[in-house]
Amino acid sequence: MAPLKRKPGRTAASPGALGGLSVRELGRRVYERSWQDGILDRAAALSYYFAFALVPTLLFLATLLGLLPTLDLMPPLMSYADRVLPGDAASMLKKTLGEVVSGASGGLLSLGVLAALLGASSGMLSIMKALNAAYGIDDSRTWWRRRLIAIALTIGFSLFILTAMLLLVFGGRIGDAVGDWVGLGPVSTLAWQLLQWPVVTLLGLTGLTLVYYLAPATDRGWSWITPGSAVALVSWLSISLGLRFYVSHFGYYNAAYGSIGGVILLMLWLYWSGVALLVGAEIDSAIERATAERAMEPENGMASLATLPRNASGAAPAAVARLASTREGGKDRDDITCRE
């Protein structure tokens, strides 16, 4: 495939944020690269792994819930699931989680929970593999390092999900309790109503950014929010709400598929969730490649790796470093652009 060439046109309002690309050019690059990387097929594979990791993840989340110093939290959470999920998916989730929790025994370090954590981390390993493909890199990390990173990401992402759910379901109670404690009363309740969704959104963005930062085998600078994570989160919310609206008003899964309608609906949701995750990675990857291309342009005076822009840790971004080292080695830049 021919290397991507920048078309002349209006640049983005914030060139640094999009690697100097206009929104239109960025969209074109992401579209072409997404088809080249086959993200629809990879999203289908992710949904398969997600389905296998679902029960272990639910078991691990239920264990974390059991550690909280609060009375039974499961009924309110399931009531909230009824409101935000399609009926069949919510019913299957409640049934599965009920069976998992009732069959679980022991504490956090029980063999069942450890097995659940390993099972859930397998889903994260599939995400790591898909993100490496999005960035066009080979993962040279050892298998045990990949597994440890997957376990850490699973725990961290589960904590973000759990915190977001608790804030959504019990946010009002938390706001009232904090208000009574500091003596603000109704003022704190109003403040929490205004801040609840921004806080939950920030948690979701941070969780996604953490995955995009640690999962690929590349040296990336840390940013609390990236364009890719923002698009992935908005897309995921739109997919979830759109699927719920469709099923509630136009879908007849029970009539067409019978008792497996809920399973099909869940797989469809997992599939499009995988698409949203991979598109977000493709956006961030395209921006990094554009930044690398701009850095290597002769008019920018980029002569060696030592002059490359640095991330927060002092290391050159991986995409820029790969281009610079290729140029210094005398290779043709267009070749690396094709790969990148």
In a domain, 317, yes or no: yes
Lowest mean pLDDT among 43-52, 144-153, 272-281: 43-52
Whether 34 has a pLDDT exceeding 50, the answer reads: yes
- Supply 256's token pair: 């067409």
> Where is pLDDT greater, at 141 or 112?
141
Do 12 and 28 form a contact (C-beta atoms < 8 A)?
A: no
Name the domain count of the chain.
2
Do residues 141 and 203 both lie within one domain? Answer: yes
Whether 229 has a pLDDT exceeding 70, the answer reads: yes
Do residues 268 and 336 both lie within one domain? Answer: no
In a domain, 9, yes or no: no
Owning domain of residue 235? 23-276
The pLDDT-based confidence of 279 (bands split at 50, 70, 90) is very high
In a domain, 214, yes or no: yes
* Cα–Cα distance measured from residue 237 to residue 258, given in angstroms and rounded to the nearest whole number: 27
In a domain, 10, yes or no: no
- Measuring CA to CA, which residue among 59, 161, 152, 70 is closest to residue 110? 59
Q: What is the pLDDT of residues 39-55, one digit of tens each?
A: 888 888 888 877 777 76
Do 239 and 272 form a contact (C-beta atoms < 8 A)?
A: yes
pLDDT for res 31: 92
Do residues 210 and 136 both lie within one domain? Answer: yes
Whether 260 has a pLDDT exceeding 50, the answer reads: yes
Do residues 174 and 318 both lie within one domain? Answer: no
In a domain, 11, yes or no: no
Do 340 and 5 form a contact (C-beta atoms < 8 A)?
A: no
Do residues 193 and 307 both lie within one domain? Answer: no
Q: Taking residues 233-241, report their average pLDDT.
A: 86
Which of 243, 276, 309 is where one domain is finished? 276
Do residues 188 and 42 both lie within one domain? Answer: yes
Which of 244, 276, 308 is where one domain is finished? 276
* Cα–Cα distance measured from residue 93 to residue 87, given in angstroms and rounded to the nearest whole number: 10
